[in-house]
Structure 1
Amino acid sequence: MADGSRVVTRDTSERRREITTMIRTRGSVQVASLAEMFNVSMQTIRKDLHYLEEHGVATRAYGGAISSEVVNAHVEPAIETKRVSHTEAKERIGKLAAGMVNPGDSIMLDSGTTTLQIARFLPDHEDLTVVTNDFDVLSVLNQKRKIKIVMLGGELRRRNMAFYGAQTVAALGELLLDKLFLGVDGLDIERGITTHHDAEAQLNRKMVETAREVIAVGDASKFGKVCLHRIIDLGDLDALITDTEAPAYMDEAAERLGVRLFKA
């Protein structure tokens, strides 16, 4: 009896360690899929998740659990912090994304420090039109003498130096664009692409409507994070550009969802 008890305890501990790794890697897990994976009952998985919640690993959510680190992702970093974080990866992503822009394209650059890098690497073509709501992106584009720039007005949100509001959304209603490069605050397979700011989510959804091709850009630190306001599902993207540190599970997810995945 004692030997059997030790086996059960070891199996439970090992399973919980594996679930912990999955939560920290993916950002979230689901009860039903875990039960099938480990060949145990859903009640057993619920007990596991309850145990992990008590130990600060996860927070229970409907049908599963979310990483405690992800839950705390609702706190938006200051723009100064964003500018100096993951700079090398953002530069590589920006250069790769800029290479996807063709002569004659009309593109949208969403606000963000990664899209700022795209602006840096864009070729200075006369027949290229760039639309943005980001003050810093505008400053970089203004140094290029040939690109046609369309700045979306509205109310300036100084926390990320971008314009939002009804006026900004309305301005998009008259535009039809070839490509949208969408910045990412949070990216989760099940919960999609999310952001910290409600007005930004509303504007981003309108941006998606105006573009023939939607390309998300974000470094590996954004994976598994879930912010408060949802923009779109991951499957609504045409392409995703990230860096080589992106979790391996994204390859399978992107293929399954029909999203072209690029790693800079």
Structure 2
Amino acid sequence: MTKLRDTSGRRQKMIAMLKDLGSIQVAELSRQFDVSSQTIRKDLDFLCERGLAERSYGGAISTDVISNGNEPAVEAKQVINVEEKRRIGKRAAEMVVAGDSIVLDSGTTAMAIASHLPDLEDITVVTNDFNVLSILARKEHIVAVMLGGQMRRRNMAFYGGQTVDALDALHVDKLFLGVDGFDLQRGITTHYEPEAMLNRKMVSRARSVIAVTDSSKFGRTCLHRIIDVSEISALVTDTDAPDYIRDAAKTVGFELYEA
């Protein structure tokens, strides 16, 4: 791209790139427009102030594909896609067998899985979610392990260094990973940075990672990346999943279960 020092023209081109690509990077923009990184960062600040983008590490993401500022509280999530989450929870729970140790992260889909788990003594469930723990407490035989830390009341779950460190001594068979965003290019993402950090640690302690999400999350990108789609072993979703998700299961190499 030729040198473009006209500020207005450069920013218009950056807006077009955001709409086309979904995200842009400071280093690449600096090279293409032949201006300093500092100038590009000022441009990105300008776009963010006008609600066109959100800053990310090394660049920015279009607000057309990001929703980090609009995370609903857990009470609101409990009345969204209720039937889909029930079916997903039931199907995911059927993947748990006697002798398994599993992690359920926070969220309403995790609560649905907990509700459908068989009440067996030789199943161990690790969670950081207070509501998940409350469901497990009503089952007489399942072994429940609660990760400590600082409680975030917005979703009634625990986060922080203490929560992450508690996983160091654990090895589990399966992680059921709820997501806020699932995009084939940008990966699996969430609204809340401490949650992304904790989820990555959970991934590192699990033999298999099973993403659980209703189809409304496909194509959505939130600010904080957890892992790439290629790092999951399986995906449990509803029957409204788009065809490109079914194609990705074959090309990327994860098992797909539709409930």
TM-score under structure 1 length normalisation: 0.75
Match in the other structure for 1:240: 235
Letter of the 1:219 partner, please give it. D
Q: SS where residue 181 of structure 1 aligns?
A: strand
Match in the other structure for 1:9: none
Structure-2 change in CA distance of 1:118 and 1:141 (3 Å): same
Match in the other structure for 1:180: 175
Aligned counterpart in structure 2 of residue 250 of structure 1, from 230, 245, 249: 245
Instruction: Please report how far the alpha carbon of residue 215 of structure 1 lies from its aligned counterpart in structure 2 after TM superposition.
Output: 0.2
Match in the other structure for 2:163: 168
Match in the other structure for 1:151: 146
Instruction: Please report how far the alpha carbon of residue 70 of structure 1 lies from its aligned counterpart in structure 2 after TM superposition.
Output: 2.3
Aligned counterpart in structure 2 of residue 213 of structure 1, from 191, 208, 217: 208
Equivalences for residues 134-145 of structure 1 within 5 A? 134-145=129-140
Instruction: Please report how far the alpha carbon of residue 248 of structure 1 lies from its aligned counterpart in structure 2 after TM superposition.
Output: 1.2
Structure-2 change in CA distance of 1:151 and 1:245 (3 Å): same
Unmatched runs of 5 consecutive residues or more in structure 1: 1-27, 32-57
Distance 2:248 2:187 in 1: 12
Distance 2:103 2:61 in 1: 32
Aligned counterpart in structure 2 of residue 107 of structure 1, from 102, 123, 132: 102
Letter of the 1:184 partner, please give it. V
Match in the other structure for 1:38: none
Q: SS where residue 71 of structure 1 aligns?
A: coil
Instruction: Please report how far the alpha carbon of residue 78 of structure 1 lies from its aligned counterpart in structure 2 after TM superposition.
Output: 1.5
Aligned counterpart in structure 1 of residue 226 of structure 2, from 217, 231, 250: 231
For residues 60-108 of structure 1, what are the alpha-carbon distances to aligned partners after superposition, in whole Å with 9 as ceiling and x for unaligned? x9xxx97754234542111111010000000000000000001000000
Structure-2 change in CA distance of 1:71 and 1:235 (3 Å): same
Query: What is the aligned-residue RMSD (CA, Å)?
Result: 2.3
Distance 2:61 2:193 in 1: 21
Distance 2:177 2:183 in 1: 15
Structure-2 change in CA distance of 1:255 and 1:166 (3 Å): same
Distance 1:106 1:139 in 2: 18
Distance 2:201 2:194 in 1: 11
Instruction: Please report how far the alpha carbon of residue 225 of structure 1 lies from its aligned counterpart in structure 2 after TM superposition.
Output: 0.7
Number of equivalenced pairs: 210
Task: Say whether 1:195 aligns with 2:225.
Answer: no
